[in-house]
Amino acid sequence: MGTMEIGLLYTALTLVLLFSGMPIAFALGSSAVITMYFFMPPANIDFIAETIFGELDNFTLLTIPLFILMGAAIGKTRAAVDLYEASYRWLYKMPGSLGVANVVGCTIFSALCGSSPATCAAIGGMGIPEMRKRGYTGALASGLIAAGGTLGILIPPSITLIIYGVIAEQSIGELFIAGIIPGLLLATLFAVYVVFQYVRDRHKWMQTASPEEIEAVSRKETFTFREKMEALPRLVPFLLLITVIMVAMYGGFGTPSEVAGVGAFGAMVLVAALYGCYKWEDIKYILSGAARESCMIMMIIAMAFLFTYVMSYLRISQSMAEWLVALEMSKWALLFWVNILLLVLGFFLPPVAIILMITPVILPPMMAAGFDPIWFGIVLTINMELGLITPPVGLNLFVINGIAPDIKFGEILRGILPFIAIMVLYIVLLAVFPEIVLWLPDMFYGD
């Protein structure tokens, strides 16, 4: 049996196990072991544990549980409430201010906690009811929160970028700094769309609403400068924590793992000082939650390393990369089909699994076509964001459906479609102007 046939069989077996409902780590590991048994020397099976340990013996991977601990600590508090309230108090005068405040809250909170579902639940639990009361449609309110929650895997510190950096052997610091401008610009595009759609919806609604309804929705809250300043003490410390992390990493004061340790420790101190989370019950909740999520991700990574080891040993990944190069597509055709592949996989698989499985195969042809691996890491991450808000496995959609059961699932889907279009067009924009991604890394890390 040839390499291509073995590769197709290997891929089919993996997909069957994944879609059977088996946990991702066990699906990847099982397909790897079965393939090893039939197509590799028996001695390789004896060294499975040693192979996995050798791949996991990477100090950079320590970054993952530490940043997860940081997110777990922040997620335990009402930091999301404070971020949301502070943002609204400072933005309330602009049209669609409540929606923009939710975008800002999602941006900051998702960067702090690194979890899209947690951001949707925390910000959406407050933001969606408030937006609905002030005339926002269910589609706009739910779509905004679902899309805003995805920003956490692009804006640093990002677990997704860490995993990509390890697999692609790229600088974590460079990837983090590359995600700053694209992440903030994408959040800005979301905010601009929210203002536009809110004004449009409001104009239509006022044509049919009663005077009493119009008066109730039009009644504006006002905040004095003192009330605005009162909202900052709980917001500023977390912004300072993110600033310290970025300065330490990009200033060369520590490795990503050391900086992650500082972030985790700082988050634990902040939640104890600001929110009183210092009792054993609180600490136990934070540590156990971080341990569960860390073990899940590290198990997936371990089995993915075994999965890619089998692909490399049998020359499956090398043959697939050579096949892609031999197609002699233009670089833009290659980029188009790679993005289609990532989009389709995002319909069914979580970001971690896609990155670990696909990066070793598609990155070499992309680099051969002249694409920068740092730039591609950001584009890949935006594709992973799309996977979080596209059915049938778009996790953020189900979170929104759970916290806002009065909004029909079809309405949520209608609300998310414009944000999907924005993200697709944004990938095109980054392809045309790669400097959006590469300007900051070149400034900090360029020769």
Of 145, 143, 151, which Cα lies nearest the Cα of 123?
A: 145
Q: Identify whether 7 is part of a domain.
A: no
**Quick one: which of 97, 203, 181, 148 has its CA closest to 418?**
148
| Measured distance CA(185)–CA(153) in Å, rounded | 14
Neighbours of 328 (CB within 10 A): 8
Q: Which of 320, 383, 377, 319 is nearest to 349 (CA)?
A: 383
| Residue pair 238/270 in contact by the 8 Å Cβ criterion | yes
Tell me how far apart the alpha carbons of residues 184 and 177 are, in angstroms, rounded to a whole number. Answer: 12
* Alpha-helix residue ranges (DSSP H) falling in 134-231: 138-149, 159-168, 172-206, 211-218, 225-230
10 in any annotated domain: no
- Half-sphere exposure in the Cβ direction for 176 (13 Å, CA): 26
| Distant-in-sequence, close-in-space partners of 195: CB < 8 Å, separation ≥ 6 | 94, 95, 96, 99, 100
Q: Which domain holds residue 402?
A: 28-445
DSSP 224: -
**Does residue 18 lie in a domain region?**
no
Q: For the chain, how many structural domains are there in total?
A: 1
Distance CA 437, CA 445 (A): 13
Q: For residue 23, is it within any domain?
A: no
State the pTM of this model: 0.81
| In a domain? residue 225 | yes
Asked if the structure places residue 396 within a domain, the reply is yes
The Cα 289–Cα 282 span in angstroms is 11
* Domain-embedded: residue 413: yes
Residue pLDDT tens, the chain, 447 long = 778 788 888 888 988 887 787 887 888 889 999 999 898 888 888 888 888 888 777 777 888 888 888 878 877 777 777 777 777 777 777 777 888 888 888 888 777 776 777 778 777 877 888 788 777 888 898 899 889 888 878 888 788 888 899 888 888 888 988 998 999 999 999 999 998 988 887 777 666 666 665 565 555 567 777 877 887 777 788 778 888 887 887 777 778 788 888 888 988 988 888 888 888 888 898 899 888 888 888 888 888 888 888 888 888 877 877 777 677 788 899 899 889 888 888 887 778 878 888 888 888 889 988 999 999 999 999 998 888 888 766 778 877 888 788 888 888 889 899 999 999 999 999 999 999 999 988 887 765
Q: Which residues of 282-307 are buried (b: 16+ CB within 10 A; e: fewer)?
A: bbeebeebbeebbeebbbbbbbbbbb
12, part of any domain: no
